[in-house]
Structure 1
Amino acid sequence: MSRWLNSPVAVGVGTREIVVGAGLPLLLRLRKPVPAAEPASVAIDDEQCCTEPGLLDALRTALAATPASDAALAEKVKAPQRSASVVLDDFWGNHAILRGDFRTLRARELEEIVLAHFTDTYGIDGESLLVRFCVQRGGRALFASAMSRALHDGIREVSASAHVGISRLRLGLPEMLNRAGPVADDGGEALLIFVAHELLQAVMIKQDRWVAYDAQRLFPGDADDASRLAELTEQLFERSATSTNLRREECRICLAGIETDLAPFEARFAAAIRLAQPAMDRSPAHRLMEYAQ
């Protein structure tokens, strides 16, 4: 029987492509290496790229692109519904790092604070958002994410129609931060920079704790221009460093995402290093799929 029938599904959702792969349970991955089934890749139509309808149409096609014989066999053997882990490009949501004293607040109170922040910052109706948040150890900072409730529900509906249940649906930045590891645990600060085709994101870290978050929309050509990225990173630093006494010349830059020349960053900051990440010869959606695995 094909592993597509019983295996969990890993889905990477980019802005221009969706990649669906057949995952493996953790215990099986730890036991021995198993060749992965070839992922299914579907491009989002150019006229619909970066739109929710385009994403949902491509997801429907990608889930249907799993081997046709498996679908027939699933019906024949009454295979159980597969589960899916989905990781989306951060273009599809928003993030924030809020600072304050959250130690005594309940989950519902924290949710109200997060919703108020996204509503005030982006002018979005709170009822249309689905938020997730995590309070940092010590209770003085909170990392929050928000995405369209309509998009969230649409992804679940499209998946259900393909006999796939969503077990986890997250934006990419939390996954990347989890894999970044300690980068400033020596007491110093660092600026983590995540480069994608449409978005440049910055997370200020001090003593392995969140300090600030900021993002900058990228336009065609920006992601391929290291000097332009370094210039935008300097702007993000200036906005993120307002709560610290850190000077640009003392700040380390840790880069992830699209590979770029480090020299323009080294010219503006104390140092620039490249974080370990999935193979760069893969598309952004494929790398997101690997995070979902």
Structure 2
Amino acid sequence: MSQSSNKPLVIGLGASDLALGEYPGWLPTWYRPAPITPTSQVYMSEDEHFTEQGALNALREALWADAEEREHARHKQAAYVVLDDFWANHAILSGDFRTLPAREVEEIVKAYFNDTFDLEGQSLEIRFEIQPGGRTLFTSAMSSWLHEGILEVSASANVAVKSLRLCLPEMLNRTRHAVDGTPAMLVFVTAPLLQAVMVEHDNWVAYDSLRLFPGDTDDAWRLAALTEQLFERSATTRREDCTVYLYGASIDPEPFESRFACVLPMPLPMPAQENGSTAPRLMEYAR
């Protein structure tokens, strides 16, 4: 479907598909908007699933469908892009970051990703956010090749990327109001990843993740067992003191309740589609 070259685009880029629609623009904080509806979707070929080249090919196909319309526009069409967390590595680091300049913090983060994941710093696009108090930071690293490729493919279709975000930081920012200050574990069931963040005193203090495979998201007992693994690896508190906030679509909380003291099911803005597509859900975090 043709996109108006005057309206900004919103793009969700998943691990196997892409969704594109029109950015809804400003809305009052009290207004509960309807989900952003994709006007087009691109599905990667099976051999390109989970590949950066597949992601760029999908983006190229989506944007070039209307590139001719934009060719004669006075300005490039704006786009807001949200990436699945499959495309990045996340971490929460502890230390005293209160007086360190940004460049030194970035070097510390690069050294961590190099030591932990064997990723070369010069090949990474690094982002970080120091938590209140300056003792912990949340950081993400994605391939600079993918990052620059998204910008270049977009520019070639006369599209200017105004925002390029990863999904997890956006999900965390929107869950702050839900946590009451007690020790908590935020669990996000968002295929292809199960992600967990430990929270204490309203600060994110530990992160871990596991890969989900076909069938995992439909098996609550399997998800509960994987969540227990993440808790054991990342726990900063006792199980009986920890509230689990379970973000996912229609997940039976019973298997979790037998493992944790308190489990609170929480909705995601939009569940995955029946065909397994997650890209439309990513679009919601561009708001």
Provide the TM-score with structure 2 as the length reference.
0.91
- Map residues 55-134 of structure 1 onto 2, 5 A cutoff: 55-65=55-65, 68=66, 71-76=67-72, 78-134=73-129
| Aligned-pair CA distance for 1:247 | 1.9
Determine helix, strand or coil for the equivalent of 1:26. Answer: coil
Aligned residue in 1 for 2:17 = 17
Gap change, CA 1:124 and 1:73, over 3 Å in 2: closer
Cα gap change, 1:264 to 1:161, in 2 (>3 Å): same
Percent identity over paired residues: 53
Task: Map 1:158-237; keep pairs closer than 5 Å.
Answer: 158-186=153-181, 188-237=182-231
CA distance in 2, matches of 1:150, 1:158: 12
118 and 72 in structure 1: CA distance in 2 versus 1, 3 angstrom threshold: closer
Equivalent runs, 1:252-291 vs 2, <5 Å: 252-280=243-271, 282=273, 283-291=277-285
Alpha-carbon shift at residue 28 of structure 1 (Å): 9.2
- Secondary structure of 1:195 counterpart: strand
Q: Give the letter for the 1:56 counterpart.
A: L
Give the CA deviation at 1:277: 2.6
Unaligned segments of structure 2, at least 5 residues: none
1:103 alignment partner, SS class: coil
- TM-score, L = length of structure 1: 0.89
- 1:14 maps to a residue whose letter is G
How far has the Cα of 1:3 moved from its partner?
6.5
For 2:240, the equivalent position in structure 1 comes to: 249
Q: Closer, same or farther in 2 for the Cα pair 1:120/1:81, shift >3 Å? A: same
In the TM superposition, residue 109 of structure 1 has moved relative to its aligned partner by 0.4
The CA distance in 2 between the partners of 1:54 and 1:247, in whole Å, is 42
Conserved? CA contact 2:35–2:270, under 8 Å:
no
What's the offset of the Cα at 1:287?
A: 0.8
* Contact 1:52/1:151 (<8 A) preserved: yes
Q: Match of 1:250, as an amino acid?
A: D
Report the CA distance shift for 1:125/1:79 in structure 2 as closer, same or farther (over 3 A).
same
For structure 1, the residue ranges without an aligned partner over 5 or more in a row are: none
SS for the counterpart of 1:131 is: strand
Per the TM alignment, residue 216 of structure 1 is displaced from its structure 2 partner at its CA by: 1.1
RMSD, aligned α-carbons: 2.4
Please give the secondary structure, in 2, of the residue aligned with 1:104. Answer: coil
Greater share of helix residues, 1 or 2? 1
Question: Given the superposition, is the C-alpha separation of residues 29 and 22 from structure 1 closer, same or farther in structure 2, using an over 3 Å criterion?
Answer: farther
